[in-house]
Structure 1
Amino acid sequence: MTWFQEAKLGIFMHWGAFSVPAWAEPIGELGTFDSEFWFAHCPYAEWYWNSSQIPGSPAFEHHRAVHGGRPYDDFLDEWWAERFDPDDLAQLFARAGARYVVPTTKHHDGITLWDAPGTGSRNTVHRGPQRDLVADLARAARAHGLRFGVYYSGGIDWHAGRRAVIRHEDEIDDHGRANESAYAAYALRQVRDLIQRYRPDVLWNDIGWPDLGLDDLPALFAEYREVVPEGVVNDRWDGTHSRRPSVRPDFRTSEYQANRQNEGDGAWENCRGIGFSFGYNQAEGPQHSLSVAGAVRLLADVVSRGGNLLLNVGPRADGTLPRTQREVLEGMADWMAVNSSAIHGSQPLGGVSPGDAPWLRWTRHGDHAYALIADAAGDVTLAHRSGLLDPTTAVRLYGGPVAAHTVPDGTLLHIGEVGELPVVVRFDVLG
């Protein structure tokens, strides 16, 4: 568990047959819309199968106009991954400061990215890319020093499970989630196969687990921890977030603005896309996506509050990253090359006050405190309790000493002009 809490940044990767139509309405972030409106206008391209089945929805009209309403599985045969370079991606993720990567191995469409038991030919080994994409990513990630995890949609499978169209969050448990014993056995066999084949460091389930398979979970987790002693399990096994005593997650999750109540004590992780979608969405532009500064500030905010950020990329069908996503990761790589000591292995710093004018977040690593500052000009007062920092030790990371002195409300820092991208000033901690 220690490695996970010290990692701070992971890369989520949503890739599938949905990357072929690659379309959703980019309305905004999860957690900021009414549920009925959300599903009809869903900005998640990986939910294309569901969105395109809701009559009158933008995805329904798009699917009819652009794709003639044809069967979803046609997209599997048009997903070729011909430019997929897992080593290039893993190297980029590592340079961006990620310590682990979690790709989708089966999303809600039920198509698996490995030759999963029970899928016949409906997987990427037999159709579409015709290769074991999970194995390719696992090998490349570990070759570049990254831990490797797996995402698995345990609760929803629109092929092997239920095919009812979901129009509201309340319908997920009623008729969206597959609860039958046959599907429970199917999903259990596949997750066990993932564990035995790939020894994943993170077991990341989504949308719960079949009701008639919940009693299997304690044995599954025991088996997993025997195979991967340092492996960690997320909280999305009983409904969206685990509630049963038998389901004991190692960390809790939030997503965009949803389930933010899970960002508290203990290990937690916020996941989101660089844009509003997890899967590649060709309707998104830079205006719908985080900038480099926005991504760095999000990371700093999450880390300053004790969490991890699982930042998602959605490759195109050919395996390449969209330009905006790659530019964000390249920008993060440049920033982390200088400032990673304020992120990796850090903890929240007590006795300080974050702020938004100027923008300010704090972390601590050992005897050092780090002030992450943006949107500042000239002198900046860093609010903290008396006696916490030694102002004579203020130094901008790889930028030399910074003039500072104690004031009644904290430390006055002569920082100069700072734009949207945070700079980091390190102090010795006195008490």
Structure 2
Amino acid sequence: MGIVRVYCEDVMSEVLRVGVAGLGTVGAETVRLLRLRREDLARRAGRPIELVAVSARDRSKDRGVDLAGVAWEDDAVALARRDDVDLVCELIGGSEGPARTLVETALSAGKSVVTANKALLAHHGTALAKTAEAGGVTLAYEAAVAGGIPIIRALRQGLVANSIGRVYGILNGTCNYILSAMRDTGRAFDDVLAEAQELGYAEADPSFDVDGIDAAHKLSLLAALVFGREVDFDGVHIEGIRPISPLDIAYAEEFGFRIKLLGIAEEAPEGVRQRVHPCMVRKDAPIAQVEGVFNAVVAEGDAVGTTLFLGRGAGAGPTASAVIGDIVDVAAGRRAPVFGIAAAELRAARPAPMEALEGRYYVRLMVIDRPGVLADVTAILRDEHVSMESMLQQGRDPMEKVPVALTTHEVDEASMRRALDKIARLDAVLEPPAMIRIVEL
């Protein structure tokens, strides 16, 4: 559905009064840019935009921004109840607690909301969209997916003429940095993670990032927007990058691949398959060239073909840039349904099972190097109708474990998993088999 533009001289001449809840790095940068770019934003929006109130837990903290003349609310929810606030900018974070209450209160009070909170929308996006649309206000979330990359606008507006069969991408910069550094240096996951934490790329508790949850939050929003279905975070298959070893990265290079944590949403006969997991992609695939903390999103449309959007997916500047873009849209009267079509028209979520996925696989085994081991492995693969494409074995030491890596031809996931379960029970297999899906992009 295209953009609905409403231009009313009386409304457009009024000041849009903004309240910002949450003054962390993104909130502080949003405040700074709102003030620094005030005149330019007013020209872009066709009306002034004024910061009138903020809320955060600690008034005494120096955040490096000028809050002179701005009201302070200790209670974030009180921000949504202020008569002098037209738009609430929620930058608190979290799927429950103050963030959820603030957004629900603001929307119910007839105030538009701009948020960067992917967790909140992944868990409650459908219900919040219905509340916003019933009240005739905007719920905008460009900053919730891929930071400064304007992918929500692109999918909802620029690519509206397309039927999109698949959307995928690198949706977490922390994981991409870790995998890039592991490949460049040969170091192990834990070592590179510690470095990422020192550099500020990873949190003290990195679980949301490295276990794939952050990427899954974002993917569920992209899938809802692209496929016109209710947000279905629970339907996302999630695997993280902790099991990836330097051996896997080295073997990937030998086979002609690179390893990336991808979020992939695609239509399947059974419904929509949403999955976040490490993937092996060809070295010459455009997304394989995306390194470090960068994000990338690819949409495959029937009219436009393949489009790639690349940029910084996190950080104060990119995220605040997306937040302010949404604020200006609200000020200018540019509105669209939250997930592309009216929330009441979103189809029920229908997740396609991973067991039905068909594709190629990389498998690494750690085995005792003795006669008959590979014969046992290949017999199991044969019995489960898994056809092996290639195999690599480096080194021989009958007293120690040796790695064996192989790739398969296309097979369904259920057969692949049955084969791996049987292989894992062989006496000569010393560790659970490592499996990475090979994705053709």
Name the TM-score, length of structure 1 as normaliser.
Answer: 0.29
Larger radius of gyration: 2
Higher helix proportion, which one? 2
Kindly indicate which of the two structures has a greater share of residues assigned to strand: 2
